[in-house]
Structure 1
């Protein structure tokens, strides 16, 4: 008989216990606290809502993180069950050992453990505590020798943190979950701090009142779809430490000089900004103003549908950020022959750091891509290249492949369907799938001949 992995045996034991849910709930306070961690994991993955609620009520550690257990398919009922079990105020006349839980983290995070254990201290500790509440271990850093939060009396004086990522998309599921959160905060009489780190908002005007109930200082990642720039400025004025900002479909009528200047003022305060995504955001002849206020060590820059001009491309090629960018997306901005010179310079300047490049739907022709090849072939750290939906011939596509073969870190290339695969006009005619199949066979053969089977060339049919 094959030996079983110890972790698998433990998981099996937890699953067996959960088959008799009423008994396990009654016995939770008798279970060694170290076993509550695998029991929680098994209950969450098995969808045992009543057990989850009961475990949270007696959780013996300072923090509890859903972390890698959560996926996009996680049912909101499981999260609701955990929130229901969160005891913000001390239970009156309770003879049980009670919960020491002060940080309940419902966010999805593949790198987060179920709980954080103290390092060189017996005081409660959590790597993910909020900087804007009194429980923050970051505020207590260096004070463990003088401040003892180990006792239940001391611990009860601090607010409880509920960490969430919110996507305000107008769905019934979102509205129900949001109502539950806000109701829990209201019932806590100030003893519960709702901390949202990642906020996504569809149609900002529908949620202005809701946002007033959140502490926007907590937000690290903000994504807004459909808004006026004036409302965006109001939102940004209440934030300090954004790591990522994504704005899409910002109304053109709002992009007047005064409001845009205010927008730049808000961005200039964001010293920690590492990622900026702007789409359907008109930047014609004003990209230079934007880049001047952004951190020089910006990692990710996405500018699709921004109506960039030759002047914008030229400034982008010379800006300080170019020497640091890891990701650049210029898709859906027409790139003509006259734009080649600044783009060549841009590719040369990003060659030392660039890992991901997207130039889809840019009307790039053979002559344009040919002019970029020398600089592109020097991007030694490039891992992903996407230049789909551009009118490129088969002969040029083969030349691109040959030039990219030496880039050993390049693993994924999303290429355009060659023009000869279409009848009549490119994109408007019928796609000849047999011709496309022949293209795929030929490219695969070239990769195999060059012993680059690790480089995946893929395309998609419009």
Structure 2
């Protein structure tokens, strides 16, 4: 005999009822409200799609945190599809069903909730949500008063979720919304903290309909990672201006998409870029700004950063074509005065001016904690004028210089002074030029071992934890020396 306790009569009754989904759906009419939770949990565990659909349409409580049940589910897409079918039944009605009291459907997977914990099925006094749950599920006072696409006021239902527009792995809920837009059916009101675009630009008509039911002032994180053109981004600008609580914005692989002459392309950028940058005046809570592989920033970065009035914590400019004029004023913008993380990486053309770096580092010396200048084209001559400002960054704990053609002499000078003035715990250094022969094509392994030993001796007084070589078999940003310090 095992030590497991036998199933209760309630469990047996639920399993028996779920054997016939048709009978289970009919039984919902007389099922006591306090039994909805154990029955729904069992239906999700057993993947009874028909019962899940019927229960969503009859849900007797104000909230249904379905996402919390999908964390460890074997078929979350199958369960979500069934729940969305029930949601569609609700939205198709002019008025809610007699019993249904559902106001908030929470599809977020990463939110802990007490809603499903400790349910005995014998009462509903423990259905009172926590303070966090009440805030998360409370519809906003300024809810959009939007009539459905069919002209019928939709069921007053809010859906909490993170929206991800991507083509390769379509989001189940996004597919549901898209299909309803195409069929001219009502949409629920949406609230999400994360809004992600992965891949090509979605059809603008469908995108506009979905964004029109989205509570834009609830969006905290917006990421666009795909081949969006500047004109595509300007279409999104009116919605961006209403994301007043946005704290993280990432634009990656955004292109100009201009096939005419360079002169006409520049004129096109000058016409469109103000439409993209002007909404930044409204983003008073923006903290993290990342621009990665954005091709139309040259001579326009100042236009964007001037519109960012709030001090940023993170500024990342990676693999962007930026004019020296933009960087020359980088230390004067209001948004750069309290940076904690600064990323300026990506190969620069010959003759690039690094004169802006000392002024910028001096300005953020009291706050900067992470500096990434990887693969930035820094040489001994361009780095030396920067070193005094670098040593003044008293809170700096992470420094990335890999991929820059620097000599051992510069590294020997940099490390002791930087460690003494800063709080370095992680350093990524390039393999010194001294270790390469034949025009930097071949790595002298024996000499590299001597260099590594010299670095160990230099770093030993500074609580060195580990030092290792990251081998990429070529002179690339990945070919680096990684140093860990106990700070």
Q: Normalising by structure 2, report the TM-score.
A: 0.68
How much has 1:161 moved relative to structure 2?
1.8
User: Which residue number in structure 2 is paired with residue 451 of structure 1?
Assistant: 463
User: Which residue number in structure 2 is paired with residue 310 of structure 1?
Assistant: 324
Distance 1:396 1:262, change over 3 A: same
Q: Secondary structure at the match of 2:404?
A: coil
Aligned pair partner of 1:366 in 380, 386, 399: 380
Distance 1:120 1:20, change over 3 A: closer
Q: Secondary structure at the match of 1:246?
A: strand
User: Which residue number in structure 2 is paired with residue 292 of structure 1?
Assistant: 306
Deviation by residue 1:295-348 (Cα, 9 ceiling, x = unmatched): 232222222222223322220022222212222221115287873432101011
Q: Distance in 2 between matches of 1:286 and 1:204?
A: 24
The answer to whether 1:262 aligns with 2:293 is no
Q: Secondary structure at the match of 1:167?
A: strand
Is contact 1:412–1:456 with CA below 8 Å preserved after alignment?
Answer: no
Distance 1:334 1:197, change over 3 A: same
How many residues matched?
416
Q: Distance in 2 between matches of 1:20 and 1:408?
A: 66
The answer to whether 1:230 aligns with 2:231 is yes
Is contact 1:388–1:459 with CA below 8 Å preserved after alignment?
Answer: no
Aligned pair partner of 2:206 in 190, 206, 210: 210
The answer to whether 1:192 aligns with 2:199 is no
Q: Normalising by structure 1, report the TM-score.
A: 0.71
Q: Distance in 2 between matches of 1:64 and 1:135?
A: 22
Is contact 1:53–1:81 with CA below 8 Å preserved after alignment?
Answer: yes
Is contact 2:289–2:315 with CA below 8 Å preserved after alignment?
Answer: yes
Q: Distance in 2 between matches of 1:118 and 1:226?
A: 42
RMSD, aligned α-carbons = 4.8
The answer to whether 1:246 aligns with 2:250 is yes
> More deviation in 443-452 or 158-167?
443-452
Q: Secondary structure at the match of 1:415?
A: strand
Rg larger in structure: 2
Is contact 1:133–1:159 with CA below 8 Å preserved after alignment?
Answer: no
User: Which residue number in structure 1 is paired with residue 175 of structure 2?
Assistant: 179
Q: Distance in 2 between matches of 1:440 and 1:452?
A: 13
User: Which residue number in structure 1 is paired with residue 15 of structure 2?
Assistant: 22
Is contact 2:91–2:187 with CA below 8 Å preserved after alignment?
Answer: no
How much has 1:97 moved relative to structure 2?
11
Aligned 1:55-454 pairs, distance under 5 A: 60=61, 62-64=63-65, 66=67, 70=71, 76-84=77-85, 86=87, 89=90, 100-109=101-110, 112-113=112-113, 118=129, 125-127=134-136, 129=138, 131=140, 134=143, 159-171=156-168, 173-174=169-170, 178-183=174-179, 190=186, 192-215=188-211, 218-219=215-216, 220=219, 221-224=221-224, 225-239=226-240, 240-241=242-243, 243=246, 244-247=248-251, 248-251=253-256, 253=258, 255-278=268-291, 279-332=293-346, 334=348, 339-406=353-420, 409-426=423-440, 429-431=441-443, 443=455, 446-453=458-465
Q: Secondary structure at the match of 1:289?
A: helix
